[in-house]
Structure 1
Amino acid sequence: MKLNVVPARTGISWVKLGIRTFLRQPLALAGLFFMYMAVVLVISFVPVIGPLVGGMLVPAATLGLMAATAEASAGKFPMPTVLVSAFRAGRQRARSMLVLGLVYASGSLLATWLGSQFADPAPLSAATDPRVDVSTLVTLVLHTPLFLMFWHAPALVHWHGVTPAKSLFFSTVACWRNMGALTVYSLVWMGVFLLAGIVITLIGGLAGGASAARAVMMPAALLMAAMFSTSIWFTFRDSFSADPQPDAAPGPASPATDEDLR
């Protein structure tokens, strides 16, 4: 396994490739994303153990969406079974994925609990309080290291057979070394989401006012989130290179180029 350091402009290619691949298989990729969201949300509502189990499934489900993107990028139609790819690559890798899930769930619950300690015991309504929700802000800040650790970790376990501890370390190092590309990637996606929100608001306003805009905002936001999730595969594919694994989906290829976008 080799870490690739890519130029900052590669972040733009990741966004383009994600959008292009999603538009090739919109029904399949959106359906898989909604399926993943539905399963995790339903499990999270189970009393006591729900949040922990739901969090444990996040790394495996993220890997499933990446595997679906890899198949769509190769011209294949991703089937629902691709979501459980993490548990079809052998007992050792399945066990490693569950370990990752336990670490992620524990870290996420801890970050959420710490953030809740900053909550205002008597908050004003969102309509009358212009201040930033400190609790939410702290929770997001505390989740940032967790996101970096797990950005590539599930894929490293699945496609490279890396141990959970090493996958978390290598993911953090890869994100740090390619921070320029990831920063551009994040900024471009922020711009895409903002532009989509403006367009939806304008169309909704012309079609039926604010109520119509609000009615389509949530479905549109979920579709954009599905499109974003599609692009994550390319950030991994270009950050690591290795010989393809015989028992897994297509592994990382060469870094994205303009040729990939044609």
Structure 2
Amino acid sequence: MQARQLPLYRGWAWLKEGLLLWRANPALMTYMAFGFLLTLVVVSIFPLIGQPVASLLMPILSLGVLNGCRAIDEGRKVGPDILFSGFRGGIAPLVTIGGIYLIASLLALSATVLADGGTLLKVMTGSPVDEAAVNSPAFTLALLIAIALSTPVVMAYWYAPMLAGWWQVPPVKALFFSFYACLRNWRAFLAYAIGLALFGAVLPGMLIGVISLAVPALGTLLTLLVPLVLLPTVFASFYINARDVFGLPGASAASHPLIVDDNHAD
């Protein structure tokens, strides 16, 4: 197992190939994407313990989605229970990853108190805030601090569930290798982020807006239908991304070259 360094154009391809994976089994991909989100939302509803428990469950469910995507990719037939397949193996490393992610996220969010006196923290926790405080420069600064501090946290988490579940990498090492892999592939991730912004928000928004002006009913219908394709495609692209960078357990070196040379990375 080694993190490959991919050229910039592969970031664009993750969404395209994610769409192809969705087309291979749209029912299962749609179920997994919305099932993942719905499960976390339902768990989060419970007072006090809901949010922490949801954070601990997230890596387990993430692994289930990846297992489902891998099954579709390999042409295997699986049932709806694949979403919860992360519970079948050792869940302790996955829960540990979720706990570390939760603590790191809280620390990053807490640091913003120094900038805005806790306004962003109140917004994120659902507490009432003054509208003037939200529109203040201090709140904007707090947002920038939160983005700067949370980005490395997300990078450390990105591949960690897959590394722990498929490769049995210990939690701390999985988080480190994930951060390193994201850093090594910043060009591809930049292209991926641009692709998400264009094809996930800008272009669908423009298309729905234009159609709504001409045929309002059709625009409303598209508002409901587009997420049914877009969201599962994004989830599928996470698997394509992970497969590109780390390959799959048991895959041959010939079919999954380990490194893309720095000099050939766009």
TM-score tier after normalising by the smaller chain length:
0.7 to 0.9
Paired position in structure 1 for 2:264: none
Q: Which amino acid aligns with 1:14?
A: W
TM-fit CA distance, 1:115:
4.2
Paired position in structure 1 for 2:51: 51
TM-fit CA distance, 1:214:
6.5
Paired position in structure 2 for 1:172: 179
Q: Aligned partners of 2:81 and 2:189: how far apart in 1?
A: 30
Residues 218, 99 of structure 1: alpha-carbon distance in 2 compared, 3 angstrom cutoff: farther
Q: TM-score, normalised by structure 2?
A: 0.79
Residues 41, 79 of structure 1: alpha-carbon distance in 2 compared, 3 angstrom cutoff: same
Alignment partner of 1:230 out of 233, 236, 255: 236
Q: Aligned partners of 1:163 and 1:215: how far apart in 2?
A: 46
Q: Which amino acid aligns with 1:191?
A: L
TM-fit CA distance, 1:225:
2.6
Residues 125, 169 of structure 1: alpha-carbon distance in 2 compared, 3 angstrom cutoff: closer
Q: Which amino acid aligns with 1:238?
A: D
Q: Aligned partners of 2:14 and 2:38: how far apart in 1?
A: 26
Residues 132, 95 of structure 1: alpha-carbon distance in 2 compared, 3 angstrom cutoff: same
Paired position in structure 1 for 2:169: 162
Q: Which moved further from structure 2: 156-165 or 117-126?
A: 117-126
Q: Aligned partners of 1:242 and 1:231: how far apart in 2?
A: 15
Give deviations 1:146-192, integer Å, cap 9, x for gaps: 11001111000011110000000000111111111111111112110
Q: Is the 8 A contact 1:28 1:77 kept in 2?
A: no
Matches within 5 A, 1:1-262: 1-89=1-89, 91=90, 94-115=91-112, 118=116, 119=119, 121-124=129-132, 134=140, 135-193=142-200, 194-208=202-216, 213=219, 217=223, 220-221=226-227, 223-241=229-247, 243-244=249-250, 254=256
Structure 2 unaligned residues grouped into runs of 5+: 121-128, 258-266
Residues 191, 160 of structure 1: alpha-carbon distance in 2 compared, 3 angstrom cutoff: same
TM-fit CA distance, 1:228:
0.7
Give deviations 1:82-111, integer Å, cap 9, x for gaps: 12222212x3xx211111111122223333
TM-fit CA distance, 1:36:
1.2
Q: Aligned partners of 2:224 and 2:176: how far apart in 1?
A: 35
Q: Which amino acid aligns with 1:6?
A: L
Question: Alignment identity in percent?
Answer: 26
Give deviations 1:234-262, integer Å, cap 9, x for gaps: 111111146529xxxxxxx626xxxxxxx
Aligned residues: 241
Structure 1 unaligned residues grouped into runs of 5+: 246-252, 256-262
Paired position in structure 2 for 1:249: none
Paired position in structure 1 for 2:125: none
TM-fit CA distance, 1:218:
6.3
Residues 65, 242 of structure 1: alpha-carbon distance in 2 compared, 3 angstrom cutoff: closer
Q: Which amino acid aligns with 1:72?
A: I
TM-fit CA distance, 1:76:
3.1
Q: TM-score, normalised by structure 1?
A: 0.80
TM-fit CA distance, 1:216:
5.3
Q: Is the 8 A contact 2:133 2:139 kept in 1?
A: no
Q: Aligned partners of 2:44 and 2:161: how far apart in 1?
A: 21
SS in 1 for 2:67: helix
TM-fit CA distance, 1:206:
2.0
Residues 231, 99 of structure 1: alpha-carbon distance in 2 compared, 3 angstrom cutoff: same
Question: What CA RMSD, in Å, does the superposition of the two structures yield over aligned residues?
Answer: 2.9
